[in-house]
Amino acid sequence: METLQGILEFFNSPLFKLMTRMFILYLFILWFSTVIWTYTDAKKRGGAALTWSAFTLVFPFIGVLVYLILRPKETIEEAEMNSLEYEFKRSLLEDEVKYCPACGKRIEEDFQICPYCLKKLKKKCTSCGRLLKLDWHVCPYCRQEQ
Ligand SMILES: [Zn+2]
Ligand SMILES: [Zn+2]
């Protein structure tokens, strides 16, 4: 009986009351920080920031879990970066595909002559032998005038 008495005394003690108050305060702080976090995160992702933060306010902790499941996968910045990267890769690919100015068939960057219509496409530098455009008057690699 004495231990039970001790436990009951502990629950009635000012220390316990202080601890519960601290715990409740801690929960409140945690709750409000999830609301603020949800707001900023949803804003970054271009989601409905106000709706989501209100949702986490009405449903403490569960709201933020639901948000984490349903939030947009990438932030606006990430989405922009990804589309930029995609554009860049696509432009690289398009650059690699060249067409003969005479017959329009596909040719490679280092072709000297079109294999289909025999149009001269590039000339070789008389000094270093690298491929030059037909209208270049000087080799940009070795400065040899053409
Ligand atoms: Zn051609
Ligand atoms: Zn050269």
pLDDT value of position 7: 83
pLDDT digits (tens, 9 = 90+) for 11-32: 888 888 899 999 999 999 999 9
pLDDT band, very low/low/confident/very high, at 5 (cuts 50, 70, 90): confident
Please check whether residue 117 is in contact with residue 100, taking contact to mean a CB–CB distance below 8 angstroms: yes
Please check whether residue 87 is in contact with residue 105, taking contact to mean a CB–CB distance below 8 angstroms: no
**pLDDT higher than threshold 90 for residue 8:** no
Q: Which ligand is nearest to the CA of 132?
A: 2
**pLDDT higher than threshold 80 for residue 101:** yes
Supply the mean pLDDT for the chain: 89
Name the residue ranges covered by the structural domains of the chain: 2-75, 78-119
pLDDT value of position 56: 92
Q: Which ligand is nearest to the CA of 113?
A: 1
**Ligand 1 centroid from CA 94, angstroms:** 19
**Ligand 2 centroid from CA 22, angstroms:** 79
CA distances from 107 to 28, 121, 127, 128 (A): 68, 10, 25, 23
**pLDDT higher than threshold 80 for residue 2:** no
Return the higher-pLDDT residue of 116 and 80.
116
Of 67, 65, 62, give the one whose Cα is nearest residue 50: 67
Q: Which ligand is nearest to the CA of 128?
A: 2
